[in-house]
Structure 1
């Protein structure tokens, strides 16, 4: 089907998938940050059941699988991401205990209630809302099970209007770290740890790899305004981070189900 015969929303959805399929991580993060969050979680065994919600192509999932026992299921809306996820698991000889499946976090998760020992989600819970996601996912965790998620958060009570307007439009649920911790408590968890993702999670692991992908996409879809707008937004995101990184960032929140 030609691009002209697709609706803008269909094309933009496919564009997002194509763009981020070229990246190891679909949001800010790093192996070191994943492992630091993992250090706060205990009691995992070869029988543990773990879900990575909004797993993308599995950059963080493979780090988890190489450092903990148990079976991991990755869930993502984009079939192309899951194809790459399972390919990556096979390449690392993890396919016996790591599997990606297509699914939406906006629907009931494909797990039995109180069956999971750990729920992981880097940069994805904001798609359904931080507190809403924590409440819904709590039902799938065993008592004493853990949840570990990253979420964009304000570092200060006030910030320049330029960055405030940008993030309130992109993610209206963004809030300060203490308020996010309170939301975790209200959702049924004991907060175990929080930490801010280091700057290199943005610059080295998220923004830098996008440079080549932008040029590739712009060349492939030369003259397409939707593509030009998408690339402009990604560049704006990077410029604003470099300008206002003292005011916000991604934060890891780790909690334990009561």
Structure 2
């Protein structure tokens, strides 16, 4: 197996493939003033196995198109949807987020938790805006500095890993410069990293290694993910995911 295939294998059968929680999804949803007089069209871009997609389907009056590039995660989501009786509300689509087949003004709400970095925050704002109706909403979580200054070690790490890392104030300026108005913002608490993402991942390490015969590459995947966890534990007071909720102006 390749390293990418091993990463997918590690994250299979997990509630989430990144930091976040049901509480965060509901908090973001509560900041929206969604129309109630009609069924809405929603797209969840980079949905993974759909922890937040299922919640959206339960809470929003409408249909959710769940998009991910990895069929393994979409298969899990389809199984969950079927078991919960939500197949009439969730449609899955295997596509890359930079090659979406949607029409202009198709959606009332674009949702993306912990995934927009794959295309880049500003690029995502620009490309996805076309798919939103005027007055429609964008809700995305994005890696964000939560202090104005931070140790050089973590600053250099994130600048190398994701050069678009920035403070919330600068992210909000990008939203405003690209035709959105901020509706609300908050950053994810430490439980959304540790309790709902990192601890469940660590609990899967041994089974993952065993089914992959403790291969050198499988060990590397575990070591790399443990290094990420250690980094967060060391510098968790300086960065998180910021959740940005905005409205398309025109």
TM-score normalised by the chain length of structure 2: 0.95
Unaligned residue ranges in structure 2 (runs of 5+)? none
Residue aligning to 1:244? 235
Equivalents in 2 of 1:226, 1:161: separation in Å? 30
Matched, 1:121 2:112: yes
Contact 2:40 2:63 in 1 (8 A): yes
Equivalents in 2 of 1:102, 1:129: separation in Å? 20
Equivalents in 2 of 1:44, 1:28: separation in Å? 29
Equivalents in 2 of 1:168, 1:226: separation in Å? 26
Deviates more, 1:66-75 or 1:213-222: 213-222
Residue 14 (structure 1) shift? 1.1
Number of aligned positions between the proteins: 248
Matched, 1:102 2:88: no
Equivalents in 1 of 2:16, 2:158: separation in Å? 20
Determine which of 59, 68, 75 is the counterpart of 1:67: 59
Matched, 1:138 2:129: yes
Contact 2:13 2:76 in 1 (8 A): no
SS in 1 for 2:72: helix
Residue 202 (structure 1) shift? 0.6
Residue 148 (structure 1) shift? 0.2
Equivalents in 1 of 2:204, 2:25: separation in Å? 24
Residue 174 (structure 1) shift? 0.8
**1:34-183 correspondence to structure 2 within 5 Å:** 34-45=25-36, 46-107=38-99, 109-183=100-174
**1:213-232 correspondence to structure 2 within 5 Å:** 213-232=204-223
Residue 250 (structure 1) shift? 0.6
Residue 139 (structure 1) shift? 0.3
Spell out, residue by residue over 1:22-77, the C-alpha distance to the aligned partner (whole angstroms, 9 max, x if none): 31101100111100000111234452100000000000111111111100000000
Equivalents in 1 of 2:218, 2:143: separation in Å? 25
Equivalents in 1 of 2:184, 2:209: separation in Å? 41
Residue aligning to 1:8? none
Equivalents in 1 of 2:129, 2:205: separation in Å? 38
Contact 2:31 2:184 in 1 (8 A): yes
Contact 1:192 1:255 in 2 (8 A): yes
Residue aligning to 1:212? 203
Unaligned residue ranges in structure 1 (runs of 5+)? 4-10
Deviates more, 1:24-33 or 1:215-224: 215-224
Spell out, residue by residue over 1:192-213, the C-alpha distance to the aligned partner (whole angstroms, 9 max, x if none): 1110111110111001101221
Equivalents in 1 of 2:15, 2:34: separation in Å? 29
Residue 104 (structure 1) shift? 0.4
Calculate the aligned-residue CA RMSD, in Å.
Answer: 1.2
Residue 241 (structure 1) shift? 1.2
